[in-house]
Amino acid sequence: MVEFIAGAHVSSSGGIFNAIGNGAEIEAEAIQIFASPPQTWRQTNHKPEAIEKFKTLHTDSDIGEVWIHNIYLANLAAEDPEQLKKSIDSVQFAMRIADAIGAEGVVLHTGSHKGRGMDAVADQVTDALIEILRDAPGTAVLALEDMAGQGGQIGKEFGELGLLLNRVKSDRLQVCLDTAHAFAAGYDIGNTEGVEISMTEFDREIGLDHLAVIHANDSKIELGGLRDRHENIGEGHIGMTGFEAITAHPAFEGKAFLLEVPGFEDNDGKAHGPDLENVNRLKRLRAATAVAV
């Protein structure tokens, strides 16, 4: 039996504390939020009262782990020094908020070498990560996310993240595994054998002890398609067979699975994902692993 946690990304608009109610509404056992709007550099001013309210509501809820996803604009491999500084600032801001609200840590898209290759950017990215961790208060971890690989994204291959972890050498630098990204990057996690092969490579290149959290997304993109389009659990190219294989793998014991999926159409004809149905699909997968063993 693999006792993973069924969680989801939720909105915190109107106040960071709203995330707790939004998570409870879809019966999520863990949540992920943005600490500021992901498409802008502007940092939200979270008032101390808002942080306190978040912590109180969190304590009184059934939600366990909380994660913050960094803004999308950050690129630790940016060539322009000003872009690099703003990128580092954005992660430091997210790490401070993570510490303040008692979150596990921050998930980061490391950046893009834009075709220059890992060798060209490894020193700069290593230094940036060391600086971020040196200045980050508390115990929150920084989890680098594997990527689909479009446009020279760092993290298409597990080995690229492993290289950075090896250079930085901090227990607080870990990895977030996004299932849709891995599949689009060419890791065939749509079946049991493929999951085994992929997680063996993960263990060799990164180390399973550095797997912090999972982004549980099916993929609209075919295997190796190198693009990033999420689909509801069981409805994409990974499929229910793939998710049965993933959720049965012992590497995921105790890990939070965070949904970032479009959702199913409501009565109003619109999807508001991640939704209760996707959370329930994760919970049914978990229940099935209890029977399988």
In the complex, the residues that contact Zn ion under the rule CB under 5 A are: 145, 228
Q: Which residue, 50 or 233, is less far from Zn ion as judged by CB?
A: 233
Shortest Cβ distance from residue 65 to Zn ion (Å)? 16
Residue of closest CB approach to Zn ion: 228
| Residues in contact with 141: Cβ distance below 8 Å, sequence separation at least 6, in sequence order | 104, 105, 106, 171, 172, 173, 174, 212
Shortest Cβ distance from residue 180 to Zn ion (Å)? 6
Shortest Cβ distance from residue 108 to Zn ion (Å)? 8
Q: Which residue, 145 or 275, is less far from Zn ion as judged by CB?
A: 145
Shortest Cβ distance from residue 72 to Zn ion (Å)? 8
Shortest Cβ distance from residue 69 to Zn ion (Å)? 6
Nearest 10 degrees: CA dihedral of 214, 220, 221, 223? 60
Q: Which residue, 77 or 248, is less far from Zn ion as judged by CB?
A: 77
Q: Which residue, 271 or 288, is less far from Zn ion as judged by CB?
A: 271
Q: Which residue, 198 or 219, is less far from Zn ion as judged by CB?
A: 219
Q: Which residue, 29 or 231, is less far from Zn ion as judged by CB?
A: 231
Shortest Cβ distance from residue 274 to Zn ion (Å)? 13
